[in-house]
Protein backbone atom coordinates (compact mmCIF):
# COMPACT_ATOMS: atom_id res chain seq x y z
CA UNK A 1 0.00 0.00 0.00
CA UNK A 2 1.54 3.27 -1.12
CA UNK A 3 0.09 6.18 0.77
CA UNK A 4 1.28 9.73 0.55
CA UNK A 5 1.31 12.40 3.22
CA UNK A 6 -1.57 13.98 1.29
CA UNK A 7 -3.59 10.73 1.62
CA UNK A 8 -2.98 10.61 5.37
CA UNK A 9 -3.90 14.28 5.73
CA UNK A 10 -7.14 13.72 3.80
CA UNK A 11 -8.02 10.71 5.99
CA UNK A 12 -7.20 12.68 9.15
CA UNK A 13 -9.40 15.58 8.02
CA UNK A 14 -12.29 13.20 7.25
CA UNK A 15 -11.94 11.55 10.64
CA UNK A 16 -11.76 14.90 12.42
CA UNK A 17 -14.83 16.18 10.54
CA UNK A 18 -16.72 13.06 11.55
CA UNK A 19 -15.28 13.02 15.08
CA UNK A 20 -14.24 9.39 14.83
CA UNK A 21 -10.88 9.53 16.63
CA UNK A 22 -7.23 8.94 15.87
CA UNK A 23 -7.36 5.17 15.38
CA UNK A 24 -9.91 5.75 12.63
CA UNK A 25 -7.24 7.52 10.58
CA UNK A 26 -5.17 4.32 10.41
CA UNK A 27 -8.21 2.23 9.52
CA UNK A 28 -9.29 4.72 6.87
CA UNK A 29 -5.80 4.78 5.33
CA UNK A 30 -5.80 0.98 5.18
CA UNK A 31 -9.24 1.00 3.53
CA UNK A 32 -8.12 3.68 1.07
CA UNK A 33 -5.15 1.55 0.01
CA UNK A 34 -7.36 -1.54 -0.28
CA UNK A 35 -9.89 0.31 -2.44
CA UNK A 36 -7.21 1.50 -4.84
CA UNK A 37 -6.71 -2.11 -5.92
CA UNK A 38 -10.14 -2.22 -7.56
CA UNK A 39 -10.42 -1.26 -11.21
CA UNK A 40 -13.90 0.20 -11.42
CA UNK A 41 -14.35 -0.73 -15.08
CA UNK A 42 -14.69 -4.46 -14.35
CA UNK A 43 -16.95 -4.28 -11.31
CA UNK A 44 -20.43 -5.80 -11.58
CA UNK A 45 -23.44 -4.84 -9.45
CA UNK A 46 -22.91 -8.03 -7.44
CA UNK A 47 -19.22 -7.18 -6.93
CA UNK A 48 -20.21 -3.71 -5.76
CA UNK A 49 -22.41 -5.10 -2.98
CA UNK A 50 -19.47 -7.10 -1.65
CA UNK A 51 -17.09 -4.16 -2.00
CA UNK A 52 -19.40 -1.91 0.02
CA UNK A 53 -19.65 -4.47 2.82
CA UNK A 54 -15.93 -5.20 2.89
CA UNK A 55 -14.96 -1.54 2.79
CA UNK A 56 -17.26 -0.70 5.70
CA UNK A 57 -15.68 -3.47 7.78
CA UNK A 58 -12.22 -2.10 7.03
CA UNK A 59 -13.08 1.51 7.84
CA UNK A 60 -14.54 0.44 11.20
CA UNK A 61 -13.28 -3.14 11.81
CA UNK A 62 -14.52 -3.60 15.36
CA UNK A 63 -18.05 -2.20 15.21
CA UNK A 64 -18.71 -3.33 11.61
CA UNK A 65 -16.95 -6.70 11.75
CA UNK A 66 -20.24 -8.47 11.03
CA UNK A 67 -21.04 -6.31 7.99
CA UNK A 68 -24.22 -4.32 7.57
CA UNK A 69 -25.96 -3.15 10.70
CA UNK A 70 -28.56 -5.25 12.44
CA UNK A 71 -29.65 -2.49 14.80
CA UNK A 72 -31.63 0.67 14.38
CA UNK A 73 -29.63 3.90 14.21
CA UNK A 74 -30.34 7.60 14.37
CA UNK A 75 -28.28 10.47 13.11
CA UNK A 76 -29.15 13.47 15.19
CA UNK A 77 -32.92 13.40 15.37
CA UNK A 78 -33.39 11.41 12.16
CA UNK A 79 -34.12 7.68 12.22
CA UNK A 80 -32.29 5.88 9.45
CA UNK A 81 -34.05 3.11 7.49
CA UNK A 82 -34.81 0.04 9.58
CA UNK A 83 -32.04 -2.56 9.79
CA UNK A 84 -34.37 -5.09 8.15
CA UNK A 85 -34.29 -2.97 4.96
CA UNK A 86 -30.54 -2.28 4.74
CA UNK A 87 -29.56 -5.25 2.53
CA UNK A 88 -32.37 -4.57 0.07
CA UNK A 89 -31.61 -0.84 -0.06
CA UNK A 90 -27.89 -1.41 -0.63
CA UNK A 91 -28.66 -4.00 -3.32
CA UNK A 92 -31.00 -1.55 -5.05
CA UNK A 93 -28.40 1.21 -4.85
CA UNK A 94 -25.73 -1.05 -6.34
CA UNK A 95 -28.11 -2.18 -9.10
CA UNK A 96 -28.97 1.38 -10.13
CA UNK A 97 -25.55 2.83 -9.32
CA UNK A 98 -24.42 3.16 -12.92
CA UNK A 99 -27.28 5.61 -13.54
CA UNK A 100 -26.23 7.94 -10.73
CA UNK A 101 -23.46 10.48 -10.49
CA UNK A 102 -20.85 9.81 -7.79
CA UNK A 103 -22.43 12.58 -5.68
CA UNK A 104 -25.94 11.10 -6.07
CA UNK A 105 -24.64 7.61 -5.21
CA UNK A 106 -22.85 9.00 -2.15
CA UNK A 107 -25.98 10.78 -0.96
CA UNK A 108 -28.12 7.65 -1.35
CA UNK A 109 -25.50 5.57 0.47
CA UNK A 110 -25.40 8.00 3.37
CA UNK A 111 -29.21 8.11 3.57
CA UNK A 112 -29.28 4.29 3.85
CA UNK A 113 -26.58 4.39 6.54
CA UNK A 114 -25.83 0.67 6.19
CA UNK A 115 -23.28 0.39 9.00
CA UNK A 116 -23.38 1.01 12.72
CA UNK A 117 -20.45 3.40 12.37
CA UNK A 118 -18.10 4.65 9.67
CA UNK A 119 -20.73 5.41 7.03
CA UNK A 120 -19.30 8.85 6.24
CA UNK A 121 -15.75 7.54 5.97
CA UNK A 122 -16.82 4.58 3.85
CA UNK A 123 -18.93 6.87 1.67
CA UNK A 124 -16.04 9.31 1.24
CA UNK A 125 -13.78 6.55 -0.10
CA UNK A 126 -16.52 5.20 -2.39
CA UNK A 127 -17.28 8.72 -3.64
CA UNK A 128 -13.65 9.24 -4.61
CA UNK A 129 -13.41 5.79 -6.20
CA UNK A 130 -16.49 6.46 -8.35
CA UNK A 131 -15.40 10.02 -9.03
CA UNK A 132 -11.98 8.93 -10.31
CA UNK A 133 -10.24 10.93 -7.58
CA UNK A 134 -9.10 8.08 -5.34
CA UNK A 135 -5.44 8.74 -6.13
CA UNK A 136 -5.86 12.33 -4.93
CA UNK A 137 -8.97 12.21 -2.70
CA UNK A 138 -11.30 15.15 -2.35
CA UNK A 139 -13.96 15.92 0.24
CA UNK A 140 -17.36 14.50 -0.71
CA UNK A 141 -20.30 16.93 -0.95
CA UNK A 142 -21.90 17.78 2.37
CA UNK A 143 -25.58 17.67 1.43
CA UNK A 144 -26.54 17.85 5.11
CA UNK A 145 -24.89 21.21 5.80
CA UNK A 146 -27.36 24.11 5.63
CA UNK A 147 -24.86 26.10 3.55
CA UNK A 148 -24.73 23.41 0.82
CA UNK A 149 -26.79 24.37 -2.26
CA UNK A 150 -28.71 21.07 -2.23
CA UNK A 151 -29.37 20.96 1.53
CA UNK A 152 -32.55 19.08 2.44
CA UNK A 153 -32.05 18.58 6.14
CA UNK A 154 -31.46 14.80 6.29
CA UNK A 155 -28.64 12.89 7.94
**Whole-number pLDDT of residue 42:** 74
Domain enclosing residue 68, as ranges: 5-131
Q: In this structure, is residue 143 part of a structural domain?
A: no
Which CATH number belongs to the domain containing residue 43 in this structure? Answer: 1.10.3290.10
Q: Summarize the confidence of residues 64-90 as an average pLDDT.
A: 94
Residue 3 sits at φ, ψ, to 5 deg, of -110, 145
C-alpha separations of 144 from 49, 53, 76, 135 in Å: 25, 23, 11, 26
Distance CA 141, CA 124 (A): 9
CA–CA separation, 79 and 91 (whole Å): 20
The total number of structural domains in the chain stands at 1
Inform me whether the pLDDT recorded for 12 exceeds 70: yes
pLDDT the model gives residue 57: 96
pLDDT of 155 strictly over 60: no
Pick from 76, 81, 78: nearest CA to 91 = 81
State in Å, rounded, how far the first CA of the chain is from the last one: 32
For residue range 115-152, list pLDDT tens digits in order.
999 999 999 999 999 999 999 999 999 887 666 555 55
pLDDT of residue 124: 97
Position 151 scores a pLDDT of 52
* Long-range pairs, 150-154, Cβ under 8 A, ≥24: 154/78, 154/111
pTM: 0.91
pLDDT in tens, 34-72: 999 887 777 887 788 889 999 999 999 999 999 999 999
Give residue 1's pLDDT. 66
Residue 10 confidence class, pLDDT cut points 50, 70, 90: very high
Closest CA to 32 of 117, 104, 137: 137
Whether residue 153 is contained in a domain is answered as no
Asked, for residue 21, whether it belongs to a domain, the answer is: yes
Amino acid sequence: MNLTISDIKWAAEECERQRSGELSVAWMCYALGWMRDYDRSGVTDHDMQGIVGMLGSQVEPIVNRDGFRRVEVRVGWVNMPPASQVHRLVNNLCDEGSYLTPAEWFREFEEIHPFRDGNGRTGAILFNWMNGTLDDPVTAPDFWNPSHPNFQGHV
